[in-house]
Amino acid sequence: MPAGPWVLVVGMHRSGTSAVTGALGHLGLSVPVRPDRWGATEDNPDYWESAALGLFNEALLERLEGGWDGPPEYEPGWESDPVLAGDGLGDPAVAASTAFPRAGPVVWKDPRVCLLLPYWLARLPGPVAAVFIWRLPLAVARSLRARDGMRLSDGVALWERYNRAALSGLIGVDTFVIPYESIVADPAGRLSELAHWLGELPQFAAYAQGWDFAAASAAISPHLQRQRDGGAAALLLDEQRSLVAHLESLEGPHWPLHRSHPSDESAWATALLGDRRRVVVLNRVGQGLRVQLEEARGEVLRRGADLERTLAELASTKDALATQEQRSAQMEASTSWRITGPLRRLGGLRHPKQAPPVG
C-alpha cells in the first residue's frame, strides 16, 4: 500500500469531489496517474478518479450485495467479513499502487468511499486526513436526474444515505468540512483555508512549503454550479432538513471529527433504498443469466456447426462409396472382366495362399 500520506476527498456523487481533488492535485499532491484515470465526459473534463480503485470499490459493493445506486445493508463489523478477502476480489494494495506509483502525499476521491470508509480506514497507512464536501440535497438529486435520468426522490434518498455514512465513517479522522456552494463562490479563500489546515497536520508539514496556492485556486471553475437547490427545503423530510442543519454546523476543520448526526436515517429513505438495492441485485443476476445464455447459445451454434461439418463429411463419404460401388458393378458387368475370369482363377491356383505360421 502506498505510504502517502493520504488525503481522502469524501462526498456524495455530484457534490464537487472532482473539483476539490483537481485543486489539491494542482496544489501539489499526487492524483491518480493519467493512464489509470477515467476518461472525460461531456459534463466533467476530468474526474481525477482512479479506474483501478473504482473497479475495486465496485467489486466490494457487489460482494456486499449492493451497488453505488443501491447501497448494501451492512451488518456490524462488515469490513472484516471473510467474504471481502475471498478469491477474485484482489489485493487493495495492488489497485492503490496502480493509481499512485510515486512516493509522497496523495489525494484520492471516489464517491463510493462514503459507503466503504470502515474498510479503507482499516487498510490505508495512517494518519489519514479527509476533506468532506457536501452539497444541498435537491441540487444533487437534480444533477443525478440530468446525468442518469434518476428520479428526484431516489437522488434525495441516496444523498441522505451517503452523507450519513460519511459522517459516521469519518469519526476519529482529521477532517475539513466544506459546503460545495461555498467553494464555488470563493475558491481562493476556501482552498487557502484547506491548504493551511493540511500544512498544519504533522504528516504534511514537510511538503507544505512547495504547494502552489494560485494553481489550486485557478483549478476551480466558477461555472460548476449548474444544478441549484432552488430553495425547495419544503420537499424534504424532517430528518433530511435536520441533516442539512447538522452539516452546516460542521463547516471548517476538525482535529478529529467527533460528531455524527444524532438521528437515524428516515424510514422513507431506508425503504426506498432497500427497493433500489434489490433491483440492483436482480439486475446483476439477470445480467449473469444473460451472459450464461449467450455462452450457451454460442456453444449450441458451435456444436451445430460441428454437426453440419460431420454430416457434410458423411455425405461426401457416402457419395464416394456409391461411386466406387457403381464403378465395381460396371467393371464386373464388362466383357473384358468375364473373358479374363478363367485366367484370374488359374493365377490363384499357381499362387495358393500360404497358411499362417504356427506358434
d(CA 29, CA 223): 24
Range 120-124 average pLDDT? 96
Predicted confidence at residue 357, as pLDDT, reads 60
Q: What is the pLDDT of residues 48-68, one digit of tens each?
A: 999 999 999 999 999 999 999
pTM of the model: 0.80
Give the pLDDT confidence of 259-290 residue by residue, as tens digits. 777 789 999 999 999 999 999 988 878 776 67
Q: Is the pLDDT of residue 187 over 70?
A: yes
Q: Which of 8-17, 295-304, 332-341 has the highest mean pLDDT?
A: 8-17
Q: Which of 136-140, 179-183, 251-255, 287-291 has the lowest mean pLDDT?
A: 287-291
Tens digit of each residue's pLDDT (9 = 90 or more) over 201-215: 999 999 999 999 888
32 pLDDT tier (thresholds 50, 70, 90): very high
Work out the percent of the chain whose per-residue pLDDT is above 70: 87
The pLDDT value recorded for residue 347 is 64
pLDDT at 359 over 70: no
**Residues in Cβ contact with 217 at an 8 Å cutoff, skipping those fewer than 6 apart:** 23, 187, 188, 191, 192
Look at residue 337 and tell me whether its pLDDT is greater than 70: no
pLDDT of residue 96: 97
Which pLDDT value is given to residue 343? 66
Over its C-alpha atoms, the chain yields an Rg (Å, rounded) of: 35
Output the pLDDT for position 79.
92
Cβ atoms of 331 and 337 within 8 Å: the answer is: yes
Which amino acid type is present at position 263? Answer: S
What pLDDT is attached to residue 257? 96
In this structure, which CATH number among 3.30.300, 1.10.3470, 1.20.950, 3.40.50 belongs to the domain 6-224+233-267?
3.40.50
φ, ψ at 17 (rounded to 5°):
-65, -35
Model pLDDT, residue 333: 77
- Segment 302-313 mean pLDDT: 84
| Cβ contacts of 221 within 8 Å, gap of 6 or more | 19
Cell of 292: 450464461
pLDDT digits (tens, 9 = 90+) for 218-253: 888 766 655 555 556 678 999 999 999 999 999 999
What is the sign of the dihedral through the CA atoms of 56, 198, 243 and 47?
A: negative
pLDDT at residue 338 in the model: 65
In this prediction, residue 70 carries a pLDDT of 96
DSSP bridge partners of 178: 133
Which three cell numbers, joined as nine digits, stand for 158? 441516496
Mean pLDDT across the stretch 24-45? 87
